[in-house]
Amino acid sequence: MAKGMTHRGSTFRSSEQTPQIFLQKQQGWGRSSALKTRQQLKWAVYICAILFCLQALLESVDAKPVLASSLGFCKKVPVLKGAPLHCCLPSPKRKPIRFRSPRIPRTLTGRLILRERKPAHVLQRDPKYVRKYNLAYARMKALPDTDPRSFLNQWRVHCSFCNEAFKQRKTPGPLGPETGVPLQVHYSWTFLPWHRMYLYYHERILASLINDPTFALPFWNWDNQLDQDAAMIPAMFLSNFSVPNAALFDEFRNSNHFPPKILHLGYNSKLEAEGKQNLTNQQIRYENLCVMYNQVVTKISARDFLGGPYVVGTDNSAATVNASAGEVPGESGGMENAHNVAHEWTGLINDPNHPDNEDMGNFIYAARDPIFYSHHSNVDRLWDVWKTIPDKVTKSGSRKRMDYTSRDFLDSEFTFYDENQDMVIVKVRDSLDSSKLGYKFTDVSKSDKMWINYEPLPPHQSPKKSNSSDYPAAAPSGYNYIGTDPVSFRLDRRAPTKEIARQRGVKNVDQLQENVVLEKVKIPHSEYARFDVFINYPAANRQTHLYMSEYVGTFTHLPSGMVDMSKSVSESSSKSEKFRIVTIRYCVNAALRRLGITDYNTDIIVTIVSKGARNSSPKTGFTFTNLKQDFQ
Ligand code: C2O
């Protein structure tokens, strides 16, 4: 972009100068030279026009990627209990460098030798690996605070980039001028790429600390419902393990969820606190498959899976969204929303002494727990898996899953510290192919297939068929409320047009995914929220199983102490409360098919089941501006 701008500048300058030079020189010239010059002028005009068009084209595709570094402004991050946290990072000792693809060793026949990230539940049976893994963290934890590779500083990377300690920048490079807008890498398309590069450097640092370039992080294979222990907190992170593992241990985890409990993606801390979440292991596994199916498989477009755009100026922690100024609300993708549940389930939730749900249950603290990196290793893996899943969702059955291709996405820029303590400037485009980063994941496709090919139970047979006209439509751009009781709305549907298909970059309307979109849900930073959505099942409630045909997906918001807690709870609705404005997208093609709805004339009933705000009175709820149909 900077290049393009200088280009236009110089073009204008030459076109301004040309006529004057031309006039001055023309006086003494003969006829033929005047003609020649006229021709030259014509050419100059053509070239100018072409350059101008090129520039305009470039600008139309190249808006404003988010640019960020950990230098310059950095504010402390407030928490609910205790003093605000200092998450800022040390300055680099040398000039920041640009990312360069690592040299990857090859076999004699030229095949790449990739480091292999293996499932944690398998690796923990290998004492040699656990010793190495523990040693790497022990050494990382022993590094001084001034060293950007230290465990404390590794935690800070997450705490700062994920909790708005920094500001976005106006121009590329780590020292470009700052905009006034805080930086947040969750709730958008930056979620997967940023965390991938964060883990990449984290892994490189661990590897260098034990002088083992082949070292790779494990992945906590919590989506795996095939192996008994895969979805449990891996024992190697817990005390009383057979091999010394002190450096992998963290005291702030929910002991109610220790093995043999398995991670429940339908988990709701509120229901659990009320003693109403009593599912059998088999039911939990079905719900897990169903959540994975709805959060990964049905998400066919980049927007559905990776999340919404995040460009300079986007402030998803603002209390209002000024759409006319180009601001967009936060929009987490399906993967991010599923991943949030694992955070919630692992951290200290429902513990009055720990209102911040440390460690995993709050993004501010999450990276203090070594299990965080193993959890994200699985999230990273699922991004790779997603790209390989056959369509099975759209009418065409032929759509490829692809990352965004826009330059706003590809040129988004962040900084990390590498194993040599150098600050590296990384672009999203550097992150898209894990093999180019030198690693791969153990193939666990047998268990992946369980959720990829998941079939929910048949639709409920409601005694009296619900009539969509019995329900109100949401007030467009107005005030809509989700309380602790489920709410149902009628959603008027229409067929997608060719124009929409064109805008979305697909060949025809049959390649589109139909979305139900909850627009601009307003959630206080300090609140927990979970919304599960059902189609044509208004009887759905907080205890309805998620492995039913009518269920179409979930959204979870983790509370984070981004509010000044010197204010009491009753005051928290005052101006000092910070909100997150998020748009939530549910994918409904597959569900509609299961429910026998094959046309676009049939309106549907959308039931939003809020799993309740923490510490809430019955009246506590959330507002949103609209419920609408969209296509991706
Ligand atoms: Cu930045 Cu799992 O979080």
59, part of any domain: no
Among 141, 116, 112, residue whose Cα is nearest residue 129: 116
Structure tokens given for 120: 């944690």
321, part of any domain: yes
Total number of domains in the chain? 2
d(CA 402, CA 390): 12
pLDDT at 2 over 80: no
E strands of 43-90, at which residues?
none
32, part of any domain: no
> Do 129 and 275 share a domain, yes or no?
yes
- Specify the pairing of strand 514-524 against strand 626-631: antiparallel
d(CA 330, CA 316): 5
> Do 78 and 179 share a domain, yes or no?
yes
Structure tokens given for 2: 């900077």
Predicted pLDDT at 19: 29
Predicted pLDDT at 576: 53
| Residue 5: pLDDT band with limits 50, 70, 90 | very low
55, part of any domain: no
Q: Is residue 262 within 8 Å of residue 342, measured between CB atoms?
A: no
> Do 424 and 563 share a domain, yes or no?
no
How far does the centroid of ligand 1 lie from the alpha carbon of residue 240, in Å? 27
Structure tokens given for 624: 């949103």
Print the domain residue range for 532. Answer: 472-631
The predicted-structure confidence for 268-322, as pLDDT tens digits, reads as follows: 888 888 888 899 999 999 999 999 999 999 999 999 999 999 988 887 766 666 6
CATH code at position 521: 2.60.120
How far does the centroid of ligand 1 lie from the alpha carbon of residue 415, in Å? 17
Q: What is the CB-side half-sphere exposure of residue 238 using CA atoms within 13 A?
A: 16
What residues are in contact with ligand 1 under a 6 Å CB criterion? Answer: 158, 162, 186, 195, 339, 343, 363, 366, 376
41, part of any domain: no
Predicted pLDDT at 621: 84
The predicted-structure confidence for 84-141, as pLDDT tens digits, reads as follows: 889 999 999 999 999 999 999 999 999 999 999 999 999 999 999 999 999 999 999 9
Relative orientation angle of helices 371-388 and 334-346, to the nearest 10 degrees:
150
> Do 211 and 123 share a domain, yes or no?
yes
Q: Which amino acid is present at 606?
A: V
3 state DSSP class of 425? strand
pLDDT at 574 over 50: no
d(CA 68, CA 88): 14
Nearest ligand 1 atom to alpha carbon 376: 2
Mean pLDDT of 517-535: 91
How far does the centroid of ligand 1 lie from the alpha carbon of residue 372, in Å? 8
Nearest ligand 1 atom to alpha carbon 186: 1
Predicted pLDDT at 316: 72
Q: What pTM was computed for the model? A: 0.88
Structure tokens given for 347: 């951290």
> Do 360 and 263 share a domain, yes or no?
yes
Predicted pLDDT at 10: 33
d(CA 371, CA 220): 8
Q: Residue with structure tokens 């997208």?
A: 585
Predicted pLDDT at 572: 38
Q: Which amino acid is present at 324?
A: S
How far does the centroid of ligand 1 lie from the alpha carbon of residue 412, in Å? 18
Predicted pLDDT at 18: 30
Radius of gyration of the chain (CA): 27
Name the residue at shortest CA distance from atom 3 of ligand 1.
363
92, part of any domain: yes
Structure tokens given for 419: 């194993």
Structure tokens given for 338: 């599923």
CATH code at position 305: 1.10.1280.10
